[in-house]
Structure 1
């Protein structure tokens, strides 16, 4: 299946470069582009892409507001597109706001072309595209905020719900918090990718979380995230501290 992509960036040269990278892939296709948030909303509603690659800082309507309007005001019976945010991480507040607006992935603008293509595929499959470095940056910033300021990441009884997870579910949760994709988790734990996807969705539902970043924040707050000494060794589960 070909993933249909809408590009949104206020710089024409950036859009052209992104189009060249994406259209070289047999399974990806750019169906349109937009130069600002208002154009992005109109194009998304008209073209119904699978993924919107969205810049955040644009004149007029920002990519954050465009993301919110696309996802909240989607009028079609089919699901809304996934949104992959492009960021320099110079402006963390935009990234945080995009997360709250429902963006499904974050990618640095200077990422290699293959990583962009991979991110689009991952987001199109409904997974969050959060490289470990991105996840750790978000966790550090979010956990520096006053408790309760991050929607969904904390709440009464949330840590107690972690304690009700099975050992395997807890291990999956910790790997999610480390920024691993479903495929990487499957390889690490000897499971199928479909099985991991089902487990992750069930864990998020049981914990009352909306996305994998909130899961990472919760794991961090609960003291469950051990130092990473090796790439492929799954961490031993540790229960929340009393």
Structure 2
């Protein structure tokens, strides 16, 4: 059972999301937060697997709440929750900051219930939901103005630390494939893929697969969308 915390400042949105998710046998809504500060408090208290986080909320924003949850997690014996950001994207200039804060997935608010449920499952498994429309906008923005995460002092030159096989895995991560799909494509075990993804993130000093995908495009491993 995947334990989900919903954070959104609109009561109707929270109610709709909760009603939709509880109909899935593998998803359990354990709490609802009306703002960022409450999201942090409930995350620390309830220890959910996934926080579905709105970006724009009064007081503490979704970006700030994401950063606090992941940076100040008070339960060393319990894994931090994964954060799935809900966004209208074309209006949310904070999405890039949420990525740097460690959010693991991005979904548009007009996504179908099936798409949102699947995104929660993917993020709960430690992978990233790279919705194509969101990814294109992320890649375009990051290509135009390279973010600080790609210029960290002391980080090895881009991709130089990776083996040929790890580069193959990175390309497929950037294309949005899951571990299972990558394993099938490269004739590897799923555990082997997961291990390689973890090594890629560690060697490149990245937080998650979304950042890895951005780096892959920025380094020229894949052509930028629309080019």
Q: Same fold (TM over 0.5)?
A: yes
Is 2:200 the counterpart of 1:197? no
Is 2:19 the counterpart of 1:3? no
Contact (CA 8 Å) 1:154, 1:218: kept in 2 or not?
no
Q: Deviations over 1:199-236 (max 9, x none)?
A: 111122222322223322222232221489xxxxxxxx
Q: CA deviation at 1:156?
A: 7.2
* Mapped partners of 2:192, 2:117: distance in 1: 24
* Mapped partners of 2:175, 2:218: distance in 1: 14
* Mapped partners of 1:167, 1:72: distance in 2: 32
Q: How does 1:118-197 map to 2 (within 5 A)?
A: 118-145=118-145, 147=146, 150-154=147-151, 160=157, 162-163=159-160, 165-197=162-194
Aligned length: 224
Q: How does 1:66-145 map to 2 (within 5 A)?
A: 66-77=65-76, 78-145=78-145
* Mapped partners of 2:66, 2:206: distance in 1: 20
Contact (CA 8 Å) 2:104, 2:128: kept in 1 or not?
yes
Unaligned residue ranges in structure 1 (runs of 5+): 229-242
Contact (CA 8 Å) 1:159, 1:222: kept in 2 or not?
no
* Mapped partners of 1:14, 1:206: distance in 2: 39
Q: Deviations over 1:106-157 (max 9, x none)?
A: 1111111111111111111111111233222111101111x4xx13324579
Farther off after superposition, 70-79 or 16-25? 70-79
| Matched position secondary structure for 2:126 | coil
| Matched position secondary structure for 2:3 | strand
Q: CA deviation at 1:98?
A: 0.8
Distance 1:206 1:223, change over 3 A: same
Q: CA deviation at 1:103?
A: 1.0
Q: Which is higher, the Rg of structure 1 or of structure 2? A: 1
Scaled by the length of structure 2, the TM-score of the pair is: 0.89
Question: Which residue number corresponds to residue 219 of structure 2?
Answer: 222
* Mapped partners of 1:43, 1:157: distance in 2: 36
Q: Deviations over 1:2-56 (max 9, x none)?
A: 1111111111111111111111111110011011112111211111111110101
Distance 1:10 1:92, change over 3 A: closer
Contact (CA 8 Å) 1:176, 1:216: kept in 2 or not?
yes
RMSD: 2.1
Q: CA deviation at 1:161?
A: 5.4
Please identify runs of 4+ aligned residues in structure 1 that moved more than 6 A: 156-159
